[in-house]
Chain A
């Protein structure tokens, strides 16, 4: 890969592999927002998303020697984060805390992308985002993961294919079904 951004990243990874923690700080600072929002899409609460994304970075550093610097760091990190979030959700299910309880306990973590709206439009948007948030949490995790990554975080198809380790065509097919199920949930709410 020849892009300069990736060259920097590969150099940081090599420095980390020589034990330079500050270089890892550069990687963390580059990806912390994306990591946090991905985790938020999985678990739905600010505190848990913060905790899990930081823990995944910490585990990433512990395993950095196994990482190939020529590959994308975030794609590798995402697998660690995803597994941590899945384990967390599995554990939460064992503790008999259902998604409906999570919904009651957690405030809606979405806001309009544009600020300049009339009072009526703001009210309508507030209702829409509450509906969207609820519908998202009624989806299967795999569907929610895709919709969050594509629609809320703007992840490209190519990156999605890398993150999910599947061909581009599969990403589009899965997205089609996920959006269809989201649409059904939203129709049911109206």
Chain B
């Protein structure tokens, strides 16, 4: 199978899509005359283009477009609702954990060793959390696609 230069590939594509300038057209026609495998390539690309150019996507029912924005709006509202629920939930859970931790520390029936172990565990979790957050922050700072929602 014949291999073509990048320039020849670009000319083929621009010719197929009707994007050639006058100068490019002359260059393209000279290639068609001089190079038989280039001519074959052009013919077979043209056949494919003849199929694809006669097709388009099926248009969905008209009401799809009438309801489209309403659908997006509903999602935006739900997004806000989830954000509020998450924020409220985080505060409530955080407060409950704090209260439980205080009660645990103040309970004299619990051995001191267990209290120390729980304190060490809490410090470990906090260090882990800070480390993960710092790593995420550093990744975010150097991510060129940070403006894009994944």
A binds B: yes
Given that A111-B58, A152-B55, A179-B48 are contacting pairs, would A67 and B72 also be in contact in the complex, using a CB cutoff of 8 Å?
A: no
CA distance A39 to B47 in the complex (A): 27
B76–A61 touching, CB < 8 Å:
yes
Stretch from B12-20, B96-104, B107-115 that touches the partner: B12-20
Q: Of residues 48 to 76 in A, which have CB atoms within 8 Å of B's CB atoms?
A: 50, 54-55, 57-63, 66-67, 76
- Of the stretches B31-39, B63-71, B128-136, the one at the interface is B63-71
Which residues of chain A come closer than 8 Å to B17, judged between CB atoms?
150, 157
Q: Using a CB-CB cutoff of 8 Å, which residues 1-52 of chain B contact chain A?
A: 6, 9-10, 12-14, 16-17, 19, 44-45, 47-49, 51-52
- B65:A32 contact, CB within 8 angstroms: yes
User: Is A151 within 8 A of B49, CB to CB?
Assistant: yes
- How many whole Å from A44's CB to the nearest CB in chain B? 11
CB contacts (< 8 Å) of A10 on chain B: these are none
If over half of B's interface residues share one DSSP class (helix, strand or loop), that class is named, otherwise mixed; here it is helix
Given the known interface contacts A25-B73, A110-B55, the answer about A59 and B149 at a Cβ–Cβ threshold of 8 Å is yes
> In the bound complex, how far is the Cα of B16 from the Cα of A1, in angstroms?
30
Asked if B148 is at the interface of the complex by the 8 Å CB criterion, the answer is yes
Question: A36 contacts the other chain (Cβ, under 8 Å)?
Answer: yes
Question: Are B44 and A147 touching (Cβ within 8 A)?
Answer: no
The answer on a CB contact under 8 Å between A28 and B44 is: no
Secondary structure at the A interface, as helix, strand, loop or mixed, is helix
Is the Cβ of B60 less than 8 Å from the Cβ of A36? yes
Contacts of B59 in A (CB 8 A): 111
User: Which residues of the other chain, B, contact A123 by a CB distance below 8 angstroms?
Assistant: none
Q: Which residues of B contact A98 (CB under 8 A)?
A: none
Tell me, yes or no, whether A29 is within 8 Å of chain B by CB. Answer: yes
Q: A32-B65, A113-B54 are in contact. Are A58 and B72 (CB under 8 A)?
A: yes
7 more contacts with CB within 8 A, not counting A80-B149, A169-B10, A182-B48, are A28-B69, A32-B68, A33-B65, A57-B75, A172-B14, A186-B48, A186-B51
Chain A contacts to B: CB under 8 angstroms: 21, 24-25, 28-29, 32-33, 36-37, 40-41, 46, 50, 54-55, 57-63, 66-67, 76, 79-80, 83, 87, 109-114, 125, 128-129, 131-132, 147, 150-153, 157, 169, 172-173, 175-176, 179-180, 182-183, 186
Q: Taking beta carbons and an 8 Å cutoff, which residues of B are in contact with A?
A: 6, 9-10, 12-14, 16-17, 19, 44-45, 47-49, 51-60, 64-65, 68-69, 71-73, 75-76, 79, 145-150
